[in-house]
């Protein structure tokens, strides 16, 4: 059948474990993704999702609206938290002191580049995911595979594109 490496995107937007929250927010805003792989010396060590960012600010929502107003990629489902009116302060230093390693989820769901696309698809379906980080045999991040990559890849292989 088809292997993941045939369909995956090799250019991956990711952050390093030491990337500050300020830079992470800029990456989310620039690329409009809802998840970012986190690497340490090319090895995939975690994933940051929008939800992880919002957990940082949730107890202190006074200034989050200001941060979010500068970002154009905030998912609609998160806008409801902005209606909470608590008068707690958040220190702007958190943007430089908090790093990816502090926020990321470890042990992300991944797929190996040499696995069959059908395995990746089943993993996505089971975990309710639209994208999977792709790793090599050493655990290095080598790509990203989305559901659309699979659909278009199969259609192309079958001669529809």
Q: Is the pLDDT of residue 131 over 50?
A: yes
What is the CATH number for 136? 3.10.580.10
Question: Given this model, what pLDDT does residue 96 score?
Answer: 87
C-alpha to C-alpha distance for 10 and 39, rounded to whole angstroms: 15
Q: Average pLDDT of 45-59?
A: 83
What single-letter DSSP state applies at residue 10?
S
Range of the domain at 142: 4-157
C-alpha to C-alpha distance for 140 and 71, rounded to whole angstroms: 30
On average, the pLDDT of the chain sits at 86
C-alpha to C-alpha distance for 143 and 99, rounded to whole angstroms: 23
Structural domain count of the chain: 1
Beta strands in 99-146, from DSSP E residues, in sequence order: 105-106, 111-112, 131-135, 141-146
* pTM for the predicted model, two decimal places: 0.78
């Amino acid at each position: 059948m088809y292997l993941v490496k045939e369909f995956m995107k090799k250019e991956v937007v990711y952050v390093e474990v030491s990337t500050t929250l300020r830079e992470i927010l800029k990456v989310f805003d620039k690329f409009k993704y809802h998840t970012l792989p986190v690497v340490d010396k090319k090895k995939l060590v975690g994933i940051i999702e929008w939800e992880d960012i919002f957990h940082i600010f949730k107890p202190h929502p006074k200034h989050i609206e200001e941060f979010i107003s500068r970002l154009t990629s905030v998912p609609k489902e998160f806008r409801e938290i902005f209606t909470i009116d608590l008068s707690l302060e958040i220190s702007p230093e958190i943007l430089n002191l908090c790093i990816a390693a502090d926020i990321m989820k470890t042990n992300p769901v991944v797929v190996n580049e040499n696995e069959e696309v059908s395995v990746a698809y089943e993993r996505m379906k089971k975990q309710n995911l639209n994208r999977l980080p792709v790793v090599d045999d050493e655990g290095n991040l080598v790509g990203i595979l989305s559901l659309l990559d699979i659909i278009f890849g199969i259609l192309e292989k079958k001669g529809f594109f």
